[in-house]
């Protein structure tokens, strides 16, 4: 009788990762809009739809892409903001710009939006190895 060894091994800690995504379609009815990532952990990046990252705390600098006619702030108020994401292995975090419509924002008021984790779900992720 042949002996079968178990194939269900846990992923190597060196390749374990989570995904932070920014590609979701905007949902203006829920005040969620796209954003663009400019920095990850203080390093400039070229924005892309998904970032595969090792588990732990990561800081994203993001800029909103809010296209709403009721947005009346000056261009100078449209500044990047930081969001910290505690990445867990096997999870996908969807980032979005939350347009605060609780009151009228105008002039140099930067409080009109906030980066948020819009959703979190299970996702397969494995960092490439340096073979």
Cα 54 to Cα 56: distance, rounded to the nearest angstrom: 6
Domain span including residue 36: 18-121
According to DSSP, residue 115 is labeled E
Whether 9 maps to a domain, the answer reads: no
Among 58, 60, 57, 104, which residue's Cα sits nearest to residue 81?
A: 60
Whether 5 maps to a domain, the answer reads: no
The pTM assigned to this predicted structure is 0.84
Say whether pLDDT at 126 is over 80.
Answer: yes
Lookup: tokens for 97: 């710009």
Counted domains in the chain: 1
pLDDT band at 26 (very low <50, low <70, confident <90, very high): confident
Whether 27 maps to a domain, the answer reads: yes
Whether 12 maps to a domain, the answer reads: no
Is residue 39 within 8 A of residue 32, CB to CB? The reply is no
Whether 2 maps to a domain, the answer reads: no
pLDDT digits (tens, 9 = 90+) for 67-113: 888 888 888 899 999 999 999 999 999 999 999 988 888 888 899 99
| Residue 122, CB-side half-sphere exposure with 13 Å CA sphere | 0
Across 31-58, average pLDDT: 95
SS3 (DSSP) at 6: coil
């Amino acid at each position: 009788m042949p002996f079968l060894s178990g194939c269900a091994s846990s992923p190597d800690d060196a390749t374990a990762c989570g995904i932070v995504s920014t590609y979701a379609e905007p949902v203006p009815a829920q005040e969620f809009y796209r954003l663009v990532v400019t920095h990850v952990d203080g390093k400039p990046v070229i924005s892309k739809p998904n970032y595969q990252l090792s588990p732990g705390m990561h800081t994203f600098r993001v800029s909103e892409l809010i296209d709403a006619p009721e947005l009346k702030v000056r261009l100078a108020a449209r500044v990047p903001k930081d969001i910290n994401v505690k990445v867990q292995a096997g999870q996908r975090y969807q980032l979005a710009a939350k347009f605060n419509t609780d009151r009228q924002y105008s002039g140099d008021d930067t409080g009109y939006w906030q980066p948020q984790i819009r959703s979190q779900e299970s996702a397969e992720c494995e960092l490439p190895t340096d073979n």
